[in-house]
Chain A
Amino acid sequence: MNIQASGTNRRISLPLAAALKDAIFSALIAFGLFVFLIGLHTDQGPTGALVVTTRLPQLAMLVGAVFAGSLARALIFGREPIGLGRGLPPWLMRIAQHAGRLAGPALLVFALLVPVLFYHNRYLLDLGILVLTYVMLGWGLNIVVGLAGLLDLGYVAFYAVGAYSYALLAQNFGLSFWICLPLAGILAAFWGVLLGFPVLRLRGDYLAIVTLAFGEIIRLVLLNWQSFTGGPNGIASIPRPSFFGLPFNDEEGGFAATFGLEFSPTHRIVFLFYLILALALVTNWVAKRMRRLPVGRAWEAMREDEIACRSLGINTTNTKLTAFAMGAMFGGFAGAFFATRQGFISPESFAFGESALVLAIVVLGGMGSQIGVAVAALAMLGGFELYREFEHYRMLVFGFAMVTIMIWRPRGLVATREPSLYLATHKPAVSPVKQGLK
C-alpha cells in the first residue's frame, strides 16, 4: 500500500521515451490553454479600434517551460507523487520529524513575541492580525471540513453573521464588545444549525453547492435589506474595543492615562493582536479537546462512514448539526472581531472569495491538522503580501504554489493523523474470560 516506504530502492523514473511522451502531452495541453490566453493579445489601435497582436515568443517560452518541467518530473519521479523525503538519509528525516513536533510551540512563542519585536512596525502588526484572523477561521472551518468531512463553501456567511451581529448590537443597543462576542457566536451557531437542517441528507458535491448558495443568500440579504443592514453602504463607525472598559484614547480615564503611559495608537493594535491570538488559541483548544471527546470521534467516524455510524446507534443528524454549529460559532467570533477591528463593514467583505481562501487554507494545511492550517494561513496571506509589488504575477505565483503543493503533498502540508486515544498500556490483558463482562 505504501509506495514511498517500499519504493526507496526501486527505480521509479520513467524511460526516456515514455518521459518524452508525457512531456509532449503536457506541453500540448499547455499550448491549448495558453494559445488564446497568452498567444493572442488585443490592443487599442491608432484609430481606437481593437487590433489583435500575437505574442508568440512568450507563448513558446511558457510551453517550453511546461515541457521541460514535466520532462524533469517524469525522469526523476516517474508518475508517482513527488516526495521530497525520498532519498534523504534517515537521520535527517528524524531531525525533520523532531523539528515538526517543535513547530507548534515555536510558532506560538513567535506569535506572542510579534508585538514586542515589531512594536514600531504598524504594517507588520496589521498583517499579523489579518493572518491570525484567517488562522482562526481556518481552525473553525477545520471542524466542519477536516473532522466532520462536510464540504462547506459558504463559511464566510457565518463570518458575516458574526460581524453584523456585533455591529448592529453595538450600534443599536450600545452593548459592549465582551457581551456581543458570545452573542455573535451564538447567533452564528444558530444560523449554522439553520443551514444544517436542509442539507442533512446531502453530502459531497451536492452539499458544497448548497452551502455555496447559502453564503450567497446571506451576502445578498445583507446587500439588499437596506433599512436593517445599510445595504451596500455597510455599517460605519462601529464601536472600537476597549481594554475591559478602558477606551484606547488620549483622554482622562483612557487606557494610556490609567496605566500612566504615554498615549500611542499602537496600544490598540497590540491589544487587538493579543485579542485575536487569544480567540484563535481558544478555537484551537476547543477543537483539539473536542476531537478527543465522543462528539469529536463521532464527527470523524461520520466522515469515514455514515451508515456504519447509524448502525452503531450514533444520531448522525445531531452529530452533523453540532459540527455545523461549532464551526459557525467560531466563524461568528472571528466576524465580531473583524467588525470591531475594521470599524466598518459592508457586504463586500464577505464575498465568495473569502470562503474559497479559508477552504484553501484548510485543504493546503492538511485536513484535520491544526498546525498545518496555521502554517498554510501564514504562507498564503504572507505570500499575498510578499507579492504585492508584482501585482500582475501575484495570482500566477499563487496558483503555481497551490499546484506544487498539491503535487508534492496531495493531502496537505501535514497529512498525518494523530489518534485520539491510546491503550493506557500495551500489555495484553490478563485472562479476559474471567474478567467477565456480563
Chain B
Amino acid sequence: MTATGPILSVERLAMRFGGLVAVDELSFTAERGRITALIGPNGAGKTTVFNCITGFYKPSAGMMRLVHPDGAVFLLERLLDFRIAQIARVTRTFQNIRLFPGMTVLENLVVAQHNTLMDASVFTFAGLLGLKSYTAAERTAVDKARYWLDRTGLIARTDDAAGSLAYGEQRRLEIARAMCTEPVLLCLDEPAAGLNARESAELNGLLKFIRNQQATSILLIEHDMSVVMEISDHIVVLDYGVKIADGSPEAIRNDPKVIAAYLGVEDDEVEKVEAEVGL
C-alpha cells in the first residue's frame, strides 16, 4: 500500500516552558514530496516546533502524525529523539551547525549510516572478524557517502577534518550527512543562514534536487526570503507561537497579517488600537 495525503500532520501542538507559551494550538500539514517552509519573526517559536517534531522537546500537548510512503504511521510525540531519526526517519540539521569537527568529512557521512552498519556488523562481532557481509555493507556506505559528496561538491575535501571546512561547506556537509540517513522528512533549521548570494543559489538547487530526485520531503525554517519564496511549495507563518497564515508563497507574500508581523503596521492604525485600549 502506498500512502497518500500529507507526510506530516501536526495537530494542536503546544509547548509550554513554565508560564511561557512558546507554541500554542499549532496545526499544519507538510505535503509529501514538497518543500514546506516555516517562517516568522525572531522568537516566533519555529525552532521549538522543530525540537518537538524531532523529539528534542516533549510537547506539552498535541499530536504529530508522520506517514511513511509504505503507509506506516508514527506518532512522533511518543518517540524518543534518536528513535525518531532511526525508525520514523525524520532527520534534522541545526541552526548552529553541529558536525563532528574532529572527524573527517567522510567519517561524518559514515557515522550518519550508523544503524545500517551496526545491523551489518551483528553486534560488532561480524565487523571485528572482518566478515564479508560487513565489509560489503561498509563499501555500500562509503559509496553512498561519495554520492552525496559529489552532490554537495565536497569530494575534494573528503579526508579533511569537518571542522576545517569553510562555513558554507559545513552547511552543505550537514545536509549531506542528514541525507545519508535516507530520511523521509528532512528538517532544515535555517540552512541559508550566513551564506552569500551564490551559496544560497546553490543551496536552492540542492534542495530542489532532493525534493525532485529523492524520496524525501522537506520542512525548513528560513529567514532568507530569496530562498523561501523561490523553493517553497507551501509556507506556514508563525508569530508569538501562533499560526497567523498558511498558504502558497504568493498568498503569503500579500497577506496583510504577515506583512504586519514582519514590518509592523501603519502609524494611524497603532493610534486607533491605542485609543481602543484606552492608552
State the majority secondary structure of interface residues on B. Answer: helix
B204 located at the interface, meaning its Cβ lies under 8 Å from any Cβ of chain A in the complex:
no
Interface residues of B in 57-101 (CB under 8 A from A): 81-86, 91-92, 94, 98-101
Asked whether, in the complex, the Cβ of B86 is within 8 Å of the Cβ of A313, the reply is: yes
Asked whether, in the complex, the Cβ of A419 is within 8 Å of the Cβ of B107, the reply is: yes
Bound CA–CA A435/B213 (angstroms): 12
Asked whether, in the complex, the Cβ of A310 is within 8 Å of the Cβ of B142, the reply is: no
Bound CA–CA A297/B94 (angstroms): 21
Asked whether, in the complex, the Cβ of A312 is within 8 Å of the Cβ of B110, the reply is: no
Query: Nearest Cβ distance between residue B160 and chain A, in whole angstroms?
Result: 10
A86 located at the interface, meaning its Cβ lies under 8 Å from any Cβ of chain B in the complex:
no
Bound CA–CA A44/B236 (angstroms): 84
Instruction: Give the chain B neighbours of A290 by CB distance below 8 A.
Output: 124, 128
Chain A 71-100, CB-CB to B under 8 Å as 1, else 0, gives 000000000000000000000000000000
Bound CA–CA A133/B215 (angstroms): 53
Q: Provided the pairs A294-B118, A311-B94, A311-B98 are in contact, do residues A421 and B142 lie with their beta carbons within 8 angstroms? A: yes
Bound CA–CA A315/B81 (angstroms): 9
Asked whether, in the complex, the Cβ of B177 is within 8 Å of the Cβ of A312, the reply is: yes
Task: Give the contact stretch, choosing among A181-189, A245-253, A300-308.
Answer: A300-308
Task: Give the contact stretch, choosing among B10-18, B150-158, B251-259.
Answer: B150-158
* Interface size, chain B (Cβ < 8 Å): 50
Contact of A308 among B86, B98, B147 (CB under 8 A): B98
A3 located at the interface, meaning its Cβ lies under 8 Å from any Cβ of chain B in the complex:
no
Contact of A304 among B85, B101, B144 (CB under 8 A): B101
Bound CA–CA A110/B100 (angstroms): 37
Chain B 167-199, CB-CB to A under 8 Å as 1, else 0, gives 000000000011001000000000000000000
A101 located at the interface, meaning its Cβ lies under 8 Å from any Cβ of chain B in the complex:
no
Instruction: Give the chain B neighbours of A293 by CB distance below 8 A.
Output: 117, 121, 124, 127-128
Bound CA–CA A300/B99 (angstroms): 12
Query: Nearest Cβ distance between residue B74 and chain A, in whole angstroms?
Result: 13
A424 located at the interface, meaning its Cβ lies under 8 Å from any Cβ of chain B in the complex:
yes
B208 located at the interface, meaning its Cβ lies under 8 Å from any Cβ of chain A in the complex:
no
Bound CA–CA A432/B206 (angstroms): 13
Instruction: Give the chain A neighbours of B142 by CB distance below 8 A.
Output: 421, 423-424
Q: Provided the pairs A293-B127, A295-B124, A419-B159 are in contact, do residues A435 and B147 lie with their beta carbons within 8 angstroms? A: yes
Most chain-B Cβ atoms within 10 A of its Cβ — which of A295, A313, A428?
A: A313
Instruction: Give the chain A neighbours of B102 by CB distance below 8 A.
Output: 300, 303-304, 417
Bound CA–CA A191/B10 (angstroms): 44
Asked whether, in the complex, the Cβ of A301 is within 8 Å of the Cβ of B103, the reply is: yes
Asked whether, in the complex, the Cβ of A438 is within 8 Å of the Cβ of B100, the reply is: no
A433 located at the interface, meaning its Cβ lies under 8 Å from any Cβ of chain B in the complex:
yes
Instruction: Give the chain A neighbours of B107 by CB distance below 8 A.
Output: 297, 300, 419-421
Asked whether, in the complex, the Cβ of A314 is within 8 Å of the Cβ of B147, the reply is: no
- The residue in chain A whose Cβ has the minimal distance to the Cβ of B162 is A304
Bound CA–CA A311/B90 (angstroms): 9
Bound CA–CA A262/B118 (angstroms): 53
Query: Nearest Cβ distance between residue A287 and chain B, in whole angstroms?
Result: 11
Bound CA–CA A301/B102 (angstroms): 9
Bound CA–CA A309/B98 (angstroms): 9
Instruction: Give the chain B neighbours of A421 by CB distance below 8 A.
Output: 106-107, 110, 138, 142
Instruction: Give the chain B neighbours of A309 by CB distance below 8 A.
Output: 82, 111
Instruction: Give the chain B neighbours of A311 by CB distance below 8 A.
Output: 54, 56, 81-82, 85, 91-92, 94, 98, 178
B104 located at the interface, meaning its Cβ lies under 8 Å from any Cβ of chain A in the complex:
yes
Query: Nearest Cβ distance between residue B96 and chain A, in whole angstroms?
Result: 11
Query: Nearest Cβ distance between residue B84 and chain A, in whole angstroms?
Result: 8
Bound CA–CA A314/B91 (angstroms): 12
Asked whether, in the complex, the Cβ of B213 is within 8 Å of the Cβ of A316, the reply is: no
Contact of B81 among A295, A310, A417, A419 (CB under 8 A): A310
Q: Provided the pairs A311-B94, A419-B106, A433-B213 are in contact, do residues A297 and B85 lie with their beta carbons within 8 angstroms? A: no
Instruction: Give the chain B neighbours of A424 by CB distance below 8 A.
Output: 139, 142
- Sorted nearest first, the 7 A-B pairs with minimum C-beta distance are A313-B85, A313-B86, A304-B100, A294-B117, A308-B98, A293-B127, A432-B150
Query: With contacts A311-B91, A420-B103 known, what are 5 further pairs, Cβ within 8 A?
Result: A289-B128, A304-B101, A307-B56, A311-B92, A311-B98
15 interchain pairs, CB-CB under 8 A:
A289-B128, A298-B114, A301-B114, A303-B102, A308-B99, A312-B82, A313-B84, A313-B91, A316-B82, A421-B107, A422-B158, A424-B139, A432-B150, A435-B147, A437-B147
User: Interface residues, chain A, CB within 8 Å of chain B?
Assistant: 1, 286, 289-290, 293-295, 297-298, 300-301, 303-305, 307-316, 417, 419-424, 426, 428-429, 432-433, 435, 437-438
